[in-house]
Amino acid sequence: MTVLSNIDFAIQASKDLGAELQNFSKANLEKLKSVNIPTRKTESWKYSAKRLKMSEAYPEFASSKPVGEIENSYLVDAHVIVVSNNIVCLNKLGETDLTIKSFSDLNEAQSLQVINGAIAQSSNYEFSVANAAYLQNGLYINVPKNTHVDKPIRLVFQQIEEGVSFPRIFFNVESGASVTIIEEIQIQASDDSLALVNSVCDINIEANAKAQYLRMNLDGGKSKHIGATGINLHRDARFESYHLALGSELARHDLLVKMLGSGAECQLNGVCITQDKQHYANHTVVEHIAPNCTSDETYRCIADNESQIVFNGRIHIHPDAQKTLGSMSNRNLLLSSKAEIDSKPELEIYADDVKCAHGSTIGQLDETELYYLTTRGISHEQAKLMLTLGFVLEVVHATPIEAIAEFWEQRLSELLSFEI
């Protein structure tokens, strides 16, 4: 079997990092020598491995390549941070109380926070090991105690043309603070280019703090994007996730939530749309480690043409996590007989005083509902659009930023077209 370390990514770990992060990167580079490229026999990749098609070598970015213009498809007043071809741009960041440092400027305590992130500490994500092994000058962002950030922080992971990038962001939300984060993937690459974005975002949410996290994958081309987001939730902390995604040749997102303190809450929401021969894989894990915690998860997916969507959600209740409330719902809609959706909800429970539920459905548009609408003067095409949009708009409209909800409603209306 081929190991990931054998691939020439034309990139090396930054030499400007402090001793702690240098050692962290070196340890992951050594670990990478025993990490195999996923195949169909790899459980978490069995539906996606055939789409991976890793090249033996990826081209190097041109050092003179400028940071590109970011797409502004929606109007939101936000602090903007762009990471373009591994180059960080902060010139659109407004005045703020945030502490923002590159990894090379971190002190020992801050470096250890990065190393102790949920994804950083997990050995279950092959490509997060690669991200750490080739660690670049990532960003550390701290939200001070009891601070409410006045407007969202918009992170744009941008890739222009071919090459591979390993963007990494670490957020620390101190006790009593609150913040809204928008993470956006923009890949501007031609169909025949070798483009791969392998991103990691770790968020540590301290006691009584709150973070809203909106993740948007806007790429619909033939590029590859593999991303991982890790959340550490402490006592009475709250995390809300809104994942809005379009497919590409290969797109995958892993979301890991570790509930470390009593009274923590998380709400995970997702909408995924694929067309043509696109692929998108959603993998979520909620680790209930402390007692008296609550998790609620809702994902809705639509696959058209010959595309494929994967949903694998797992709720893991540890022995000490008594009084846990956990629920998971995954509803899926197939618009074509050639489309495929693979859904695998899981419950793993080791405590006896819990309330947990999970459910998954896969179906097609209801012919009775279509007939009802067409008998009232609505065209067959418009009736299908109304029912399809209605399937996902409940989740889209739950997005806390109205401009983004409106943008996605318009985008989906344009994408979902039907022939009579």
Structure confidence by residue, pLDDT tens digits, 324-372 = 999 999 999 999 999 999 999 999 999 999 999 999 999 988 888 877 7
Among the three residues 325, 346, 364, which one is the final residue of a domain in this structure? 364
Among the three residues 318, 338, 364, which one is the final residue of a domain in this structure? 364
Task: Specify whether the CB–CB gap between 324 and 354 falls below 8 A.
Answer: yes
pLDDT for residue 313 is more than 80:
yes
Q: Which residue is listed with tokens 């483009």?
A: 195
Residues 135 and 239 grouped into a single domain: yes
Q: Which domain holds residue 143?
A: 4-364
Exposed, middle or buried by CB within 10 Å (0-12, 13-18, 19+), for 417?
exposed
Residues 398 and 321 grouped into a single domain: no
Residues 258 and 321 grouped into a single domain: yes
What is the rounded distance in angstroms from the CA atom of residue 360 to the CA atom of residue 326? 15
Residues 135 and 193 grouped into a single domain: yes
Residues 391 and 259 grouped into a single domain: no
What is the per-residue pLDDT for 239? 98
Q: Which of 313, 209, 326 is nearest to 261 (CA)?
A: 209
Residues 220 and 323 grouped into a single domain: yes
Number of domains in the chain: 2
Residues 170 and 57 grouped into a single domain: yes
Residues 24 and 48 grouped into a single domain: yes
Residues 22 and 108 grouped into a single domain: yes
Residues 99 and 141 grouped into a single domain: yes
Residues 293 and 404 grouped into a single domain: no
Please state, for a pLDDT cut of 90, what percent of the chain lies above it.
65
Task: Give the predicted TM-score (pTM) of the model.
Answer: 0.94
Residues 313 and 384 grouped into a single domain: no
C-alpha torsion sign, points 33, 37, 42, 43: positive
pLDDT in tens, 382-409: 888 888 888 999 999 999 999 999 999 9
